Amino acid sequence: MTRIASLLASAFIVLLPLSSASAAMPEGATALFEAKTVAARDSALSTLEAAAPKDPASAYAAGAGEFFTALELLASGLHRHGFESPQSFMLPLMQLPVPANPNPEPLTYEGFRAILVAFRDRLAKSAATLGSVPADADIGMVIDLTHVGIDLNEDGTIAPDESMAAIMAALSRGGMATDGAAPSLTFRFDRADGYWLQGYAEFLMAQADFWLAHDFRSTFDGSFHMLFPRARLPLQDVLVPPPGDMGSSIFSSEWRIADFISMVHLINWPVIEPERRKAARQELLEMIRLSREDWKAIRAETDNDREWLPGPQQKGENPLTGLEVGEEQVQAWLATLTMAEDLLEGRKLLPHFRVTASTGQGINMKRFFDEPKPFDLVLSITGPGIAPYLESGEIVTSGDFDQIQREFGGGGFLTFALWFN
């Protein structure tokens, strides 16, 4: 399993806490994460949610279960309409390895927005539940990722090839497994990992809110047949080729390349819910705060027991990434968080290749979110789209980022960033 693919999987396929042996583990949590049917899983989740206000362990497990079901809401919504993943990092919300659906239901623009709203709102519930767990709660839950999963094909069961381990393996291979086999991965999740999971909920909420802040109907009508080729979108009969000519990845056929170009061209989105664009900035800031809390808790740990995200004091290669974490990487990550926070708060400005060298101005990202104007991707890259947010001030330089990147060494910044959150 490659490092990047494994970590992309972790960004969207949360590693859910469970203990099949610990006496302190709430019974509902064991039932939740070992459930073989959606009905049994949902019943156990309801039990945990009822106990959550008075029991930190139940709240921790319930928050994880709510994240878990948010992913399922997204996956099942995509499956229902015959989603075919373009397998591109450029579409991060579209990475779940959803099985093929031979009889997809028609999809409308309003229907796709409803899928995003349901996904976003369940993530918000998860973040709130995880946020209710006290900072000093004694949490220690062990999971073999082959024991838990989500219902990807809406048949009401959670099969072995729908386990977390199988889904992560599928992401690394670029497709679902045919034999259901998946490597065994076992981790012990503690209080620090709750911050990690809550931070990822905020990160995904920000992505969903950014989309929902805009009217992207033209993009949907003009290019989403690339993602849902048999869901009766407006241009299906004109532009979708026979199944054998479609290709699997976003750059594997001429028609997919053409539709990707159309998608980029059509990202010229009017703002229809400005509060959601403002909310996306707040969610990113909350993700930064939670990452700091995560590392504070990690560095206070004195054990070294199957760590999902180890600190410098917890030696040994991580079984998922094959990497160790050193103090230099932690310091570089904390510096990254400070840089990102400075940009989101408008204390520092983002450079633009056409503008900064000639005018000394940069982009105020706080104003980009809080004073929303139509978002045009191409014009933002070429310059006109970001002109309203340009101002003079302290600008982040490539040297600032290069210095941070060097501290991550051979593993690379992106690898550690996906892992660290």
Rounded to whole angstroms, the Cα distance separating 386 from 364 reads 9
User: 10 Å Cβ neighbour count for 156?
Assistant: 9
Is residue 24 classed as helix, strand or coil in its secondary structure?
coil
Tokens 């693919």 belong to which residue?
A: 5
Q: Which residue has the tokens 């927005």?
A: 113
* pTM reported for the whole predicted model: 0.90
Structure-block tokens of residue 304? 């070294």
Place of tokens 């805009």: 214
Handedness of CA 351, 357, 358, 359 (dihedral sign): positive
pLDDT 10s per residue in the chain (421 long)?
A: 444 444 444 444 343 433 333 336 788 888 888 899 999 999 999 999 999 999 999 999 999 999 999 999 999 999 999 998 765 555 555 677 889 899 999 999 999 999 999 999 999 999 999 999 999 999 988 877 788 899 999 999 999 889 887 887 777 654 444 444 555 678 888 999 999 999 999 999 999 999 999 999 999 999 999 899 999 999 999 999 887 666 555 566 788 889 889 999 999 999 999 999 999 999 999 999 999 999 999 999 999 998 889 999 999 888 777 788 889 999 999 999 999 999 999 999 999 999 998 899 999 999 999 999 999 999 999 999 999 999 999 999 988 888 888 877 656 777 777 777 7
Q: Which of 379, 38, 71, 50 is nearest to 208 (CA)?
A: 71
CA distance 229 to 29: 39
| Residues paired with 163 in a beta bridge | 149
